[in-house]
Structure 1
Amino acid sequence: MLIELDDLKQGAVERLAREEVLAVRVRHFIDEDIAARLSEQIMERGLQKYLNAPSIGRIGMVFYEAENQPPLIANYFESVFDNINELRKRCAPYVSPIDLLRCVLDEIWPAGAQLQTLYGRKMYV
């Protein structure tokens, strides 16, 4: 089941967390023209590939790819803010959609929304 809204609401996020719905779609969360520009800007510099899903592109390493190997975990944490900043640069002069989502979630969710911390260090979005 899918919920469609004009604005993200706490109740919709609660239903998603309780697995009462599979997805929440916020209509026009990002303007269509801006979304198209963001897509072009993000893609034009190329993307890295997931190790176990090479058909999907990404910016930066995701934590599960570290596979509990200390050198890869260290590399992951050392590159977190470089990767966040790279995404922001690719989105400029527009706001990164993930930053916008985090901000909206922080406003509507009682506990807020922030970057995950693991081993005392911030994780990538």
Structure 2
Amino acid sequence: MKLSIARKELAQDIKTLPIKTTKVLTRQDLVDLVQGKFIALCVSNYYPKWLCEHLCKRLLKLPEFSRYIRAQNVGVQRTGITFFETKGDPVLLERYYAEAQRMRNTIRNTCFPYLSPIDKLRVELEEIWSAGARLENIHGRPMMVGIARMFEDSFELPPHQDVLARDIVDNCSDGLLLSQLSANIYLREAKFGGELEIWGMKPSYQEFLELARDELHFDQNKLPSSEVLYKPRAGDLVLFDSGRIHAVRPSKQGPRVSMSCFVGYRGQNVPLTYWS
């Protein structure tokens, strides 16, 4: 399938957008990111490198690590079920909410007496955003936030999008997101590979179907070249619009480990939300 002229123009425009690298997370940088002034925001040394490895060793001992229910063929494991995996299944949805508090406590207790990377991010978002920040609450129940992810050697995460609205099948939401950010705090980098790849494109669901190789992933042969190829370093925080196509290249001599969540934006005077 050929990309539309508009998509080609978008891809060309995005190539001029930089990754912004900074040492401190600020409100203005978040606003600039959601407004598309740069394609990704990297806060270097966001979490102490020595503590990254210390917590990584602890987290990797958790028995909750397993592959995503909806992506059993992809060698990426996470701690606890994520909302994306429920896809309207009432049994999985109930399991998700039932496990949310327990898994938040499990991660927090595993990191104790240190502040977990996700708790650090949650506190800072609440402090820098004038309207504050809170747990996402779609069905009147607090959601999970902050999973640890481990990439198995030689596996990749194929090109895909993360869009909350596509995972809510009952239309039970308290407001449409204007932007959904993926937040990743890296604890261990793979010796080889493991680069984060981002495209400038934000296809609609119909456009995804035309470019898809399966129900979750894009056919990379139908995509133009990506605009970003970034090798994460331990301690980095990276945020980008998860509606943009993104992928992770195969990693070796890892495992590559990070903690992640989504951050929802509904306007500058509305609280940010976060979930996993």
TM-score of the pair, normalised by structure 2: 0.43
Larger Rg: 2
1:100 aligns with 2:117: no
Aligned to 1:84: 104
Give 1:50's aligned amino acid: Y
Q: Give the C-alpha shift of residue 4 in structure 1.
A: 1.2
Higher helix share: 1
Aligned to 1:112: 132
Rounded to whole Å, the distance in 1 between the matches of 2:29 and 2:128 is 10
The counterpart of 1:48, out of the listed 66, 74, 77, is 66
**3-state SS of 1:117 partner:** coil
1:2 aligns with 2:15: no
Give 1:11's aligned amino acid: Q
Q: Which moved more, 1:17-26 or 1:35-44?
A: 17-26
Give 1:106's aligned amino acid: E
Instruction: Render the CA deviation track for 1:59-79: whole Å, top value 9, x for unaligned.
Output: 111011112011111111111
Aligned to 1:22: 39
Instruction: Render the CA deviation track for 1:4-59: whole Å, top value 9, x for unaligned.
Output: 11111111111111222222111221111011111111112241211215411211
Q: Which moved more, 1:52-61 or 1:104-113?
A: 52-61
Aligned residues between the structures: 125
- Percent identity at matched positions? 29
Rounded to whole Å, the distance in 1 between the matches of 2:66 and 2:116 is 18
Q: Choose between structure 1 and 2 for higher RCO, CA contacts under 8 A separated by at least 6 residues.
A: 2
**3-state SS of 1:119 partner:** coil
Give 1:97's aligned amino acid: P
TM-score of the pair, normalised by structure 1: 0.92
Structure 2 residue runs without a partner (length 5+): 1-17, 146-276
What is the correspondence of 1:59-78 to structure 2 with a 5 Å cutoff?
A: 59-78=79-98
